[in-house]
């Protein structure tokens, strides 16, 4: 029975270590989203998060109108960054929206749509879908110059794309003002936005360092002990050293670790 109890306690200890390790791994992975970008340059980690809420811009880089609009030389382009367009006013009026919401909801099924006149009629072409969003830094040697967001769409006739340069501008949003056609169905535009400015999240390396991880473990452990002690003192009316939650487990922990070590050594000798 004593050996079985030690095995049970060793399982508890191993499970606790596994939970804390998993927490570190999940915390590191969960920060990555569709419109986030991080890269390391000269011992600094630069981070962009276009969809994050900041002061004066609760929707991040997304247009509060549901779309951005730019026109040049008879061509009209609508787009939204990091999501699909929404039209509560001024919807596109053009033919052929089947890849982007259909005639009754034109523009509300994609992230970029362009209208060109063909034989005197405005004809729509889908340029990108939200799922195709790719972001990259404009110049790694100048991280604060901004980033480029590109969306693509594979049509029946040809492939199309839109590249939007989000230029760092801490004073507010400007644009889009220019529209450039660089291929048969490829367009470029740009806008200035505070979220185009990089944030330096680390000067030593990416992710959690060992010291940071240990601080997190100690904080979690301290919070657990404090909350458990308060609960046992005020609600269970426990007094003295017994106010510490799971006191028996913590007292037997050194013996448990020693037992696990002996079992491991025995297994290694058996295998060898």
Instruction: Report the C-alpha gap between 237 and 108 in whole angstroms.
Output: 61
Alpha-carbon distance 272 to 267, whole Å? 9
Does residue 81 contact residue 164 with C-beta atoms inside 8 Å? yes
pLDDT at 13 over 50: no
Q: Is the peptide bond before 176 cis (omega within 30 degrees of 0)?
A: yes
Q: Is 80 exceeded by the pLDDT of residue 43?
A: no
Is the separation of the CB atoms in 94 and 75 below 8 Å? no
**Measuring CA to CA, how many Å separate 214 from each of 144, 210, 211?**
32, 6, 5
pLDDT of 153 > 80? The answer is yes
CA dihedral 165, 171, 176, 179 (to 10 degrees): -60
Long-range contact set of residues 15-24: C-beta below 8 Å, sequence gap at least 24: 20/217, 20/220, 23/216, 23/220, 24/208, 24/213, 24/216
User: What pLDDT, on a 0 to 100 scale, did the predictor assign at position 67?
Assistant: 92
Q: Please name which of 172, 193, 188, 159 lies closest in space to residue 77, comparing C-alpha atoms.
A: 188
For the chain, helix, strand, coil in percent to 5 are 35, 30, 35
Rounded Cα distance between 1 and 32, Å, is: 48
Count CA atoms within 13 Å of residue 203 on its CB side: 0
Out of 15-24, 173-182, 219-228, which region has the weakest mean confidence (pLDDT)? 15-24
- The three-state secondary structure class of 30 is coil
Of the ranges 18-32, 42-56, 182-196, 245-259, which one carries the lowest mean pLDDT score? 18-32
CA distance 61 to 173: 9
pLDDT at residue 251, rounded to an integer? 74
| pLDDT value, residue 33 | 65
Q: Say if residue 232's pLDDT is above 80.
A: no
Burial (CB count <10 Å: 0-12, 13-18, 19+), residue 55 = exposed
Residue 22: its pLDDT value, please? 42
Say yes or no to pLDDT of 237 above 90.
no
């Amino acid at each position: 029975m004593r050996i079985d109890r030690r095995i049970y306690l060793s399982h508890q200890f191993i499970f606790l270590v596994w939970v804390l390790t998993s927490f570190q791994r999940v915390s590191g992975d969960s920060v990555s989203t569709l419109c986030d970008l991080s890269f390391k340059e000269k011992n600094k980690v630069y981070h962009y998060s276009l969809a994050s809420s900041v002061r004066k811009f609760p929707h991040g880089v997304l247009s509060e109108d549901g779309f951005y609009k730019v026109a040049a030389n008879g061509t009209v382009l609508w787009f939204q960054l990091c999501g699909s367009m929404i039209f509560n006013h001024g919807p596109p009026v053009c033919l052929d929206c089947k890849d982007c919401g259909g005639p009754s909801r034109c523009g509300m099924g994609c992230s970029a749509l362009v209208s060109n006149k063909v034989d005197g009629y405005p004809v729509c072409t889908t340029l990108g879908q939200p799922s195709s969003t790719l972001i990259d830094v404009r110049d790694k040697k100048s991280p604060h110059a901004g980033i480029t967001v590109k969306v693509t769409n594979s049509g029946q006739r040809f492939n199309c794309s839109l590249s939007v340069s989000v230029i760092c501008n801490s004073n507010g949003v400007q644009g889009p003002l220019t529209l450039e056609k660089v291929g048969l169905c490829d367009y470029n535009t740009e806008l200035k936005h505070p979220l185009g400015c990089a944030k330096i999240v680390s000067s030593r390396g990416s992710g959690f360092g060992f010291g940071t991880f240990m601080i997190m473990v100690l904080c979690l452990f301290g919070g657990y002990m404090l909350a458990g002690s308060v609960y046992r003192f005020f609600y269970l009316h426990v007094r003295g050293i017994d106010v510490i939650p799971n006191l028996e487990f913590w007292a037997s922990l050194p013996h448990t670790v020693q037992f696990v070590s002996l079992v491991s050594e025995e297994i290694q000798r058996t295998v060898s």
